[in-house]
Amino acid sequence: MPILKTATLGCKVNQYETEYVRQALAQIGYRAPQGNEPADLCVVNTCTVTAESDRKSRQRIRKLAKENPDARIVVMGCFATRCPQRAAALPQVTEVLTDKRDLPALLKRLGVERPPAGIDRFDGHSRVFVKVQDGCRRVCAYCIIPKVRSVLVSRPEQAVLEEVARLRDSGYREIVLTGIHLGHYGVDLPKEKNGQRPNLARLVERLAELDGDFRIRISSIEADEATPELVRLMVQFPDKVCPHLHLSMQSGSDAVLKRMRRPYTRQEFLDRCALLHDSLDLPALTTDLIVGFPGETEADFQDTCRAVEEARFSKVHIFRFSPREGTEAALMRDQMIHGDVLRARAAELARVVRRARQAYFESIVGRPMRVLIESIDSARPGQVFGTSERYVPVELPGCSAEIGTFVQATAERIESDRVVGIRSASD
């Protein structure tokens, strides 16, 4: 049997696509290596969100070539789209896929006559990513992705429903809906007889109506895409739709948001967060923030710190700005904030974020949790780790046989960056 090795850099969408390729090639006999077996074929799914992502993509390809001297290497992903000639020049690269829409054609060239409609498992994962959408047309000043994945492509509702049903039947209990711009799901699909197009909220509703003991988590969307219809569904299906939304804020300063070309003001974003807090039971709101965007003043930075507190985020990813060649931000004036200032701001924001996270954790102590068990604590037998519906990391008593299952628990106390739970009596 031929041996396949894969490597994935970047986002949840890439992780899904790599799993899809693995399952497609398994149809014609490819298998994963055992131990240090050299591969016959390597597939590298690359990222280009930063210059560092490009470097890591090239590094991974060279490493695979060295370790698998007789393998063919296929390169796909955003680095392949942005820099196809550089990708093709790397050792042992035999094909560069520059457009993910051509993935079925690539698989046919590799011998897969009938590429699968989707996946039915996700090796190594308890929480499964399902790609429902591709492409972004936003023009955020710092982001290169719309230049490499600009074409909007939404999967038909029925294809998503069938894939989720297969994953449910395979025993997966959490489905994470993902896309390059998830909130734009459906805008490219044809109108129906009633004149309406499918949208994210309707897709979530149809998934929530499926039978079975599983839950849906919505990955990153814009604040204005947390529509009243979507909120209604989260209220209507509390056991099926996780009370967690990742709303990408990027800055809490109106001046910086305008230079970033973000489609909202500070107050509009905070108003949407307030609506979610008012409508849902202790919703978990998470976000991304960029520190040191060109021209960011101390006043701008303090606006961001205050916005974290006002929004009551439960988790924040902090990024220090680095110019990305090919973006508007890379050409802006006031490009480089002094390194000491940037480090100090990042450290201060991290302290603000820790306080906000601690406050959120404290708010759920004593509350029931439905925890998806994901791993064991190798250092402490009899303890397991999992994730609650509110995207809180949880440690509690359990065993390896429970990995991939739900456990009912109560949040007992906070320890480090997690909640310690006790098993419910009925569990």
Beta strands in 280-334 (DSSP E): 284-291, 315-320
Chain length of the chain: 427
State which amino acid sits at residue 405: T
Give the strand pairing for 383-388 and 368-376: antiparallel
pLDDT at position 336: 67
Distances 234 to 290, 305, 352 between C-alpha atoms, Å: 29, 28, 28
Q: What is the pTM of this model?
A: 0.95
Is 385 in a helix, a strand, or coil? strand
Tokens 């550089």 correspond to 86
Tell me if residue 135 falls in helix, strand or coil. Answer: coil
The residues, any chain, with a CB within 8 Å of residue 412's CB and separated by 6 or more, are 365, 419, 420, 421, 422
Q: What string of pLDDT tens digits covers the 427 residues of the chain?
A: 899 999 999 999 999 999 999 999 999 999 999 988 999 999 999 999 999 999 999 999 999 999 999 999 999 999 999 999 999 999 999 999 999 999 999 999 999 999 999 999 998 899 999 999 999 999 999 999 999 999 999 999 999 999 999 999 999 999 999 999 999 999 999 988 888 889 999 999 999 999 999 999 999 999 999 999 999 999 999 999 999 999 999 999 999 999 999 999 999 999 999 999 999 999 999 999 999 999 999 999 999 999 999 999 999 999 999 899 999 999 998 776 778 899 999 999 999 999 999 999 999 999 999 999 999 988 888 999 999 999 999 999 999 999 999 999 999 999 989 999 999 876 6
The encoded tokens of residue 309 equal 């507190």
Separation CA 302–CA 278 (nearest Å): 25
pLDDT attached to residue 85: 97
Give me the pLDDT at residue 312, please: 97
Closest CA to 221 of 184, 271, 251, 250: 184
Q: 6 — phi, psi (to 5°)?
A: -125, 155
Sorted by sequence, the CB contacts under 8 Å of residue 101 that are 6+ apart come out as 134, 151, 153
Residue keyed to tokens 């009912």: 408
Mark 149-170 as b/e (b = at least 16 C-beta within 10 Å): beebbbbebeebeebbbebbee
Strands (E), 174-262: 174-179, 215-218, 244-246
**Category of 212 on φ-ψ map: left (φ > 0), alpha (ψ -120 to 50) or beta:** left
User: What 3-state class would DSSP assign to 407?
Assistant: strand
The Cβ-side half-sphere exposure at 85, using a 13 Å CA radius, reads 0
d(CA 374, CA 127): 8
**Unique residue bearing structure tokens 């390194």:** 339
CB 233 within 8 A of CB 209: no
At residue 189, the 3 state secondary structure works out as coil
Structure tokens given for 90: 């790397």
What whole-number distance in Å separates Cα of residue 49 and Cα of residue 174? Answer: 27
Q: What is the CA radius of gyration of the chain?
A: 22
